[in-house]
Structure 1
Amino acid sequence: MALPQPKETEELAVGERLQAITRLEGRTVSQLTFLEKSLLFAELSRASYFPRTIAGDLAEQIGLPETRFYDRDGAQAYVFGGEEDAIVCCRGTEPNEWNDVRADLDAVTDVAETVGRVHRGFKREVDDLWPRLEQALVSNERILWFAGHSLGGAMTAICAGRCYLSHIPSAPEAVFTYGSPRVGNKRYVNHVKLAYYRWVNNNDIVPRVPPRWLGYRHAGTELYLNRRGRISNVGGLSRMHDRWWGFVRGLSRWRVDQFSDHLMEEYLTHIERAVLQEQAGKRPPALEKALGRVGCPSVAPATPPAPHLATRQEREKVQAG
């Protein structure tokens, strides 16, 4: 799950390229289409790897002037905020951080705070970080979103689950992850009821670990990008075929698809293309099918919804049901 450290010039170039698409310009996040949200959260997930000054500058140019950074024993997260929205982005694996590497390798499950079991390494990262995040969010009444890439995706999913069942006033509106590994067992996945969208890029190896035979399962709705970078609903043998030809094409370009497909830049490129097609009136049919299964509209609402301020009683009712 290691991600190479990008050079500062590359960081700024990515930000400049995407700001024209993701800039809020007075809109709330809820007023974006599903694909626009996905691109915004992908850009912020990439920004979470950057130093605070660069990440803050990129977020401010998008329309999120508030940037807070939290670091505890190598577990790190940003909270990017605007007037109506707050976005929690956990930082993914950094190869020079021993805590990150240890978290990735520790695939033993541990008892979750709610029901079921979760990956011990990911849980320990969140255990380090959560008290500070919880303290920061306890007074938040803005619409709350969670996003992350790689290890950051696993951490943000666990954080969102804790947030939903905590005394924090605003419950998570949705979770968006990119190249995230499996987090918990079937009982945990079935218990944590969140709007959760997982982007998976073709041969990206990380979403396939830890293995199912250890009891791990994925949560949420999968958005699969095929070898051409397009949203696809293929599964089974058709997906194996798609991945095989993606692997072959990767070899022809002198790269190992299983690792290159995990790069955040790859996710950004493909989702950016989908947004541009949508803006040209060509919304991907596979997107409608994937989101239709969970009742999520792909278009932006006519009016933004009110913040999701679920009471503790409402959350306990969901937990019991």
Structure 2
Amino acid sequence: MSTEFDNSWSALLNPGRATQYFNIDYPRLSLDTSAYSNSTALWLAELSRLIYRKDKNKKNKLIIPNRSEILKKVALQETRYFSQGNTAGAIVEYQQAVQFAVLVFCGTQESQGWFTNLNTLPTRWPEGGRVHRGFKKALENVWPAVETYLSTLKVPVFYTGHSLGAALATLAAARRPPQALYTFGTPRVGDAEFSKIFENIKAYRIVNHRDLIVTVPLAALGFCHVGELHYLAHDNKMLVKPNEEVVVADRKKADFTLQNSVNHSRWLDPPECLSDHAPINYVAHLERQL
């Protein structure tokens, strides 16, 4: 059974509480090209959702099933987990017929993460341009250890993440280019000069309809997006590289998922501009693209 849309506060603020993952028969991930692929996007969206799931709860009790058990069902293995300050993520590997690895960063989990998001003062990026100070600091918490492990891999490596995790994956790609970068609900990360780094990097930016987080930090502050836009419209169609006028017009239209959600009391749910940011709704949309 395919993943259902979930427009609840829990899906938005506590995505790691979900227990069902990889709900459909996922197609084999193709590594022949770094061009955009719906199947690759789906794999990486689900990993970006799963990384929110913790191994222990606040009472230090094990959460069942854990990430390793979930990944094992689809022949994946979490070979490295890193966590420092408010930055967390993992490297996941597939080592059967087709070998690849994924560097996946976790999005905002605790209050510290929101301070990271709000620390928007631009700061110099060594490879060129200026970037969001909070995002840069968050990546620097773990980058030495991450880069050391990446240097040992001899297989194609994809980078991904949702929200704050997407911003960190973008910065990581600017440091060490991947096979391809897929981001979900990413905020803006750097300025126009920084974006030039991505002229030769395969980067794909997936945006779900009215997702508010993709509009910050404001362009008026000098921030801009990177990567090829793949926009999930109100009727679930995927629009590739739509212009701004098309996106603005579509964001005014009601989302069909409001009638296809597991929630029935819309007045208790977050507004659509927030519920569209929930990781599960990215996954649900991308399953339907296949």
TM-score where L is the length of structure 1: 0.74
CA distance in 1, matches of 2:39, 2:255: 29
Residue type at the aligned position of 1:63: A
2:249 corresponds in structure 1 to 241
Question: Which of 203, 211, 229 is the aligned partner of 2:210?
Answer: 203
Q: Secondary structure of the residue that 2:115 maps to in structure 1? A: helix
Determine the structure 2 residue equivalent to 1:71. 83
- Counterpart amino acid of 1:40? W
Instruction: Determine if contact 1:202/1:246 at 8 Å carries over to the other structure.
Output: no
- Asked if 1:39 corresponds to 2:54, the answer is no
The SS at the match of 1:14 is coil
**Distance of aligned partners of 1:274 and 1:248 in 2 relative to their CA distance in 1, 3 Å threshold:** closer
* Residue of 76, 96, 104 corresponding to 2:117: 104
Q: Is the CA contact 1:247–1:256 (under 8 Å) kept in the aligned structure 2?
A: no
* 1:160 positional shift: 1.6
**One-letter code of the match for 1:183?**
V
Q: Alpha-carbon deviations, 1:244-300, whole Å to 9, x = none?
A: 12379969943411101101111111110001xxxxxxxxxxxxxxxxxxxxxxxxx
In structure 1, list runs of 5 or more residues that go unmatched: 165-171, 276-321
Matching residue within 175, 184, 196 for 2:181: 175
For the pair 1:58 / 2:70, whether they are aligned, the reply is: yes
Greater relative CO, 1 or 2 (CA 8 Å, sep 6+): 2
> In the aligned structure 2, how far is the partner of 1:253 from the partner of 1:72?
37
Q: 1:273 and 2:288 equivalent?
A: yes
CA contact (8 A) 1:224 1:232 kept: yes
CA separation in 1, counterparts of 2:148 and 2:87? 16
- Distance in 2 (CA, whole Å) between partners of 1:7 and 1:142 is 28
SS where residue 141 of structure 2 aligns?
Answer: helix
Structure 1 residues 175 and 44: alpha-carbon distance in aligned structure 2, compared to 1, 3 A threshold: same
Q: 1:5 to 1:159 in 2, by over 3 A?
A: same
1:147 aligned residue (153, 160, 166): 160
Deviation at 1:235, TM superposition (A): 3.3
Assess, with a 3 A threshold, how the Cα gap between structure 1 residues 14 and 139 changes in structure 2: closer, same or farther: closer
Which one-letter code corresponds to 1:246 in the other structure?
A
Distance in 2 separating the partners of 1:88 and 1:136:
10
Distance 1:249 1:39 in 2: 18
Q: Secondary structure at the match of 1:246?
A: coil
Which AA in structure 2 matches 1:51?
K
Provide the C-alpha distance between the structure 2 equivalents of 1:249 and 1:154, rounded to a whole number of angstroms.
Answer: 26
Q: 1:274 to 1:28 in 2, by over 3 A?
A: closer
Deviations 1:160-182 (A, max 9, x none): 21123xxxxxxx10000000011
Counterpart AA for 1:195: K
Post-superposition shift, 1:137? Answer: 1.4
> How many Å apart are 1:7 and its aligned residue?
6.3
Match of 2:173 among 150, 155, 160: 160
Count the aligned residue pairs. Answer: 258
- C-alpha RMSD over aligned residues: 2.5
Indicate if the aligned counterparts of 1:42 and 1:178 stay in contact, CA closer than 8 A. yes
What secondary structure is seen at the aligned counterpart in 2 of 1:228?
coil
The separation in 2 between residues aligned to 1:79 and 1:249, in whole angstroms, is 32
Unaligned stretches of 5+ in structure 2? 1-10, 56-64, 260-264
Instruction: State the match for 1:134 in structure 2.
Output: 147
- Counterpart secondary structure, 1:182: coil
Per-residue deviation at 1:228?
A: 1.7
- The structure-2 alpha-carbon separation of the partners of 1:6 and 1:262, relative to structure 1 and needing over 3 Å to count, comes to closer
Q: Which residue identity is paired with 1:67?
A: T
Deviation at 1:29, TM superposition (A): 4.6
Q: TM-score, normalised by structure 2?
A: 0.82
Bigger fraction of residues in helix: 1
